[in-house]
A = this chain, B = another copy of it.
Amino acid sequence: MNILRVNLSNKEVKTEELSSDEAILGGRGFIANKLHKEVEPTTDPLYGNNKLIFAGGVFAGTQVTSSGRLSVGAKSPLTGGIKESNAGGTSADRLAELGYRALIIEGISEETSPLVLMLNNQSAKLVPDESLKDLGNYETAKKLKQENPNSGLITVGPAGEHGMLSACISNTDNDDTPSRVNGRGGLGAVMGIKGLKAIVIDDSKETKIQIEREEQYNQLAKDFSRLVANSESTANYRKYGTAALVKVTDGLGALPTKNFSRGSFEGSDNISGQTMYETITERGGEGTPSHSCMKTCVIRCSNVFPDENGKTLVAPLEYETIGLVGSNLGISSLDEIAKINWECNDIGIDTIEFGATMGVAMDEGLCEFGDFESVMDMLHEIRENTLLGRMVASGCNLLGKITGARRVPSVKGQGLPAYDPRAIKGLGVTYATSPMGADHTAGNTVRAPLEHNKKDGQVEASKNLQPFVAALDTLGMCMFLAPSIGKKRHFITDLINAKLGTEYSEKDLLELGRQVLNDERLFNEKAGITSSYDDLPAFFREEENPDSNSKFDIDKQELQKTFEF
């Protein structure tokens, strides 16, 4: 596989071959490795010599289910530290089909028009396109798709172009909807400020992907698909999507409600996975409760949420968004949440960060909890690039500093996802310690056999999970595979070994994950994000969550044991 280096300053495009040492490195691991080596940790994330990396995993483009996630990474303008954020969609598979494991975007364009990187199996070139300037993601995708019918797309919306700190990056899914989002850490701002509006990946003419032990690999991929397709967790994901979590977390007192002031929401029944399923199936039309974002995925946790006339309101509608712009804002209508979600997707901002920020805004009295119109007005401000809009799009940490709020749910400058860390303390440990800042995908302990609102065993649970998840993120594998895999982790190493002709063990896999975490932590330390920042906001220790009857009480020194591998 190859690495494509694209320099936007001089428009130079270079292909490098992945060395055999690096053959297993993709996704998050590739990013940690390269940023660590190539980017000065103290550089300005937006105007310095930052690099933006897109990397799929070792299985991308092949038949292994749910393993075509695309990681994007850079020094984060939101956290100031290293950042990887991965998403589904078709991008990683398509890049692999052109022979690319990764793209490394360097420099800053001096063009006044936004650039589009056009990739096919013949060439890679940069084309300015004035017509895309300030265009929303949906319109951008529609336009580029008309011109390039056989292509997948990676795009930023106006928030990215304007360098807003919570801007995200969108990937088209199987239906060409630009809705699979590398959401966290403001990576869209890095892409936008560099002057890159879109990447068009035309894989209509594929390159053959090399598989060392092809027959064995194909059989393993089939067996693996069957295992995943038939698991109980998959059945649940397929029916209710990630929204199944609403009633789970509501029951645990872990559903962020009104700026994390409590963990159960009086309107939770209206926004549950059950309600979503019923609404979609009743309304019919374009709606579907189950849908796969990646070509090969058998989990199909995604959905299309329609309005009363069966027209798509947004696709997909996911748990994190429901938690952050729903219960966290006191909004109990799936239709309203879907509309907010569509706006965020189109403008290109992270729904988690936006929800966390609006939660602080409401708590500080800038508008009322439950006030849908105020939320839409704020999204309009962001779209129009006003000062107020920019402030809110700078994330909850900055808004908290400006308003003097006491209840600001962020770690290392990044807003908390939809799990209250007082109610699921193991995830609280992950939030506090992950090099990514508050990140629910970095080691979510919600399935660990623990009393989630007690402190026993939580550090250990996070410590065990974080390296494994870092390995999955390196392989481009969806974390929703984990419950299906259970203890059968040999599937992963068997697949790797058949693909690469190697002899990786399960222990090696964890070692790989640990190496990734170490690289990331080292980068952060050099950037000035030391272990001093490994903690939750004080209010989680001071205010009891009345629905989990708990405060966060794992002390700071104990948290540091998470990385004593």
Query: Are B403 and A538 within 8 A (Cβ)?
Result: no
A261 to chain B, nearest CB (A): 16
Given contacts A366-B387, A528-B529, contact A46 B404 (CB under 8 A): yes
Residues 302 to 354 of chain A near chain B (Cβ within 8 Å): none
CB pair A41–B402 under 8 Å, yes or no, is: no
Residues in B whose Cβ lies below 8 Å from that of A538: 43-44, 47-48
A289 to chain B minimum Cβ distance, whole angstroms, is 40
- Convert A36-64 into 0s and 1s, putting 1 for each residue whose CB lies closer than 8 angstroms to a CB of B: 00000111101110000000000000000
Cβ–Cβ contact A532 & B401, under 8 A: no
The residues of B that contact A532 with a CB separation of less than 8 Å are 41-42, 526-528
Q: Which residues of B contact A47 (CB under 8 A)?
A: 406, 538
A477, chain B: closest CB distance, angstroms:
33
A53 to chain B, nearest CB (A): 21
User: Residues 514-527 of chain A: 1 if any B CB is under 8 Å from the residue's CB, otherwise 0?
Assistant: 00000000000111
**A300, CB-defined interface residue at 8 Å:** no
What is the bound-complex CA distance between A162 and B364, given in angstroms?
13
CB within 8 A of A398: which of B398, B404, B525, B526?
B398
Residue of B44, B398, B530, B533 touching A402 (CB-CB under 8 A): B398
Given contact pairs A41-B532, A42-B532, A530-B528, A162 touches B398 in the complex (Cβ within 8 A): no
Size class of the A contact interface (CB-based, 8 Å): 35 or more
Q: Which residues of B contact A402 (CB under 8 A)?
A: 387, 390-391, 394, 398
Report B-chain residues with C-beta under 8 Å of the C-beta of A394.
401-402
Instruction: State whether A162 touches B404 (Cβ < 8 A).
Output: yes
**Cα(A562)–Cα(B244), bound, Å:** 58
A163 to B406, CA, bound (A): 11
Known: A366-B387, A398-B398, A532-B42. A404 touches B526 (CB 8 A): no
- Could you tell me the distance between the alpha carbons of A189 and B394 in the complex, rounded to whole angstroms? 23
Quick check: is A165 within 8 A (CB to CB) of the other chain? yes
The minimal Cβ–Cβ distance linking A260 to chain B, given in whole angstroms, is 16
Tell me if A494 is interfacial: C-beta within 8 Å of chain B: no
A388 within 8 Å of B (CB atoms): yes
Binary interface profile of A, 498-537, with partner B (CB < 8 Å = 1, else 0)?
A: 0000000000000000000000000001111110110100
Q: Mark A199-210, 1 if CB is under 8 A from B, else 0.
A: 000000000000
| A522-557 near B? 1/0 per residue, CB < 8 Å | 000111111011010010000000000000000010
B residues less than 8 Å from A525 (CB atoms): 530
- Of B162, B403, B528, B533, the contact of A390 (CB 8 Å cutoff): B403
**A398 partner residues in chain B, CB cutoff 8 A:** 398, 401-402
Minimal Cβ-Cβ distance residue in B for A395 = B401
- CB-CB under 8 A from A401, the residues of chain B are 165, 394, 398
A164 — which chain B residues lie within 8 A by C-beta? 404
Complexed CA–CA distance, A41 and B535 (Å): 13
B interface footprint on A9-42 (CB within 8 Å = 1, 0 otherwise): 0000000000000000000000000000000011
Alpha-carbon separation in the docked complex, A425 to B563 (Å): 42
What residue in chain B is nearest A162 (Cβ atoms)? Answer: B404
Chain B nearest Cβ from A31, distance in angstroms: 21
A401 to B390, CA, bound (A): 9
Interface mask (A225-251 → B, CB under 8 Å = 1, otherwise 0):
000000000000000000000000000
Assess whether B387 is in contact with A388, with CB atoms less than 8 Å apart. Answer: yes
10 extra interchain contacts, Cβ-Cβ under 8 A, other than A165-B401, A193-B404, A528-B530? A41-B532, A47-B406, A48-B538, A189-B404, A387-B402, A387-B403, A391-B391, A394-B402, A526-B532, A528-B532
Q: List 21 A-B contacts (CB under 8 A).
A: A41-B532, A42-B535, A42-B556, A44-B538, A46-B404, A47-B406, A47-B538, A165-B401, A189-B404, A193-B404, A366-B387, A387-B388, A387-B403, A390-B403, A390-B404, A391-B391, A391-B402, A525-B530, A526-B532, A528-B530, A530-B530
Per CB-CB distance, the 8 closest pairs between chain A and chain B, nearest first, are: A528-B532, A163-B404, A394-B402, A528-B530, A390-B402, A391-B402, A47-B406, A528-B533
